[in-house]
């Protein structure tokens, strides 16, 4: 008996390709960035405050590094701060990041049912591949596309990254349209970007990204499907 009847339902509706985000969707990694902030500022005798977290979450990494340097008088340049952050994050993805509960079973059943699988992530390629390799799921995906690969100054609120995954899979012999593709993401803006490209969308719950019940309910209602747990 299928553990995931919804996958059989998707198959019966003509869905052929499943595209997954990584942070907060397949990987239980949203706390990684908070750990980096705590460890990095802790080196200099500071604690992470809600105000600091709010600022660095909504600005670019370059702006976050400059803000950090200026606010805490860190004796490093913004480029050196970014290099330290990258080094710390890289270690987490290589050695510590785990899958969210039941993700492995979900992916295995999807593969058994004949779905093609892809990844669309804002992570760097190195960190994305490290997280997939660490959890032994890299070979399950036909395409792993990052924002770095897109090569334009855009984010996941644009459909470009999802279209890149689709085009890559089709170049390998598939014949899939956006309406036959379901995008899983834990960020509403990313789901909106996929929807603007004609893709089906699935909201994925993450306690850090969607901890507010009203926020989660609104996000889930905007999508075609929702997953609170795999």
Domains of the chain by residue range: 5-29+98-227, 31-95
pLDDT of 60 reads 56
Domain 31-95 of CATH type 1.10.150.240: yes
Contact between residue 2 and residue 109 where contact means Cβ atoms under 8 Å apart: yes
Whole-number Å distance between alpha carbons of 52 and 189: 22
pLDDT of 225 reads 97
CATH top-level class of 5-29+98-227: alpha beta
Is residue 99 helix, strand or coil? strand
pLDDT tens-digit readout, 64-92: 789 999 999 999 999 999 899 988 888 88
CA-nearest of 131, 105, 126, 145 to 20 is 145
Contact between residue 115 and residue 17 where contact means Cβ atoms under 8 Å apart: yes
pLDDT of 29 reads 86
pLDDT of 163 reads 97
pLDDT of 189 reads 84
Below-70 pLDDT ranges, the chain: 1-2, 54, 57-61, 152-153, 209, 211
What is the DSSP track for 115-140? -EEEEEESS-HHHHHHHHHHTT-GGG
pLDDT of 57 reads 62
Contact between residue 92 and residue 35 where contact means Cβ atoms under 8 Å apart: yes
pLDDT of 54 reads 66
């Amino acid at each position: 008996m299928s553990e995931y009847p919804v996958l059989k339902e998707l198959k019966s509706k003509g869905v052929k390709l499943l595209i997954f985000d990584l942070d907060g969707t397949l990987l239980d990694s949203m706390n990684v960035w908070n750990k980096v902030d705590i460890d990095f500022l802790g080196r200099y005798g500071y604690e992470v405050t809600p105000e600091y977290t709010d600022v660095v979450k909504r600005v670019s990494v370059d702006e976050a590094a400059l803000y950090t340097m200026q606010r805490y008088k860190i004796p490093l340049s913004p480029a050196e701060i970014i290099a330290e952050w990258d080094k710390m994050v890289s270690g987490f993805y290589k050695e510590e990041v785990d899958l969210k509960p039941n993700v492995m079973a979900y992916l295995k059943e999807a593969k058994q049912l004949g779905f093609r699988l892809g990844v669309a992530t804002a992570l760097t390629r190195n960190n994305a591949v490290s997280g997939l390799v660490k959890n032994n799921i890299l070979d399950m995906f036909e395409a792993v596309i990052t924002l770095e690969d897109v090569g334009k100054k855009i984010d996941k609120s644009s459909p470009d990254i999802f279209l890149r995954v689709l085009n890559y899979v089709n170049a390998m012999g598939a014949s899939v349209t956006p309406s036959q593709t379901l995008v899983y993401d834990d960020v509403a803006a990313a789901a909106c970007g996929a929807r603007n490209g004609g893709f089906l969308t699935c909201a994925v719950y993450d306690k850090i990204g969607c901890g507010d019940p009203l926020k989660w309910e609104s996000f889930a209602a905007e999508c075609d499907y929702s997953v609170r747990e795999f």
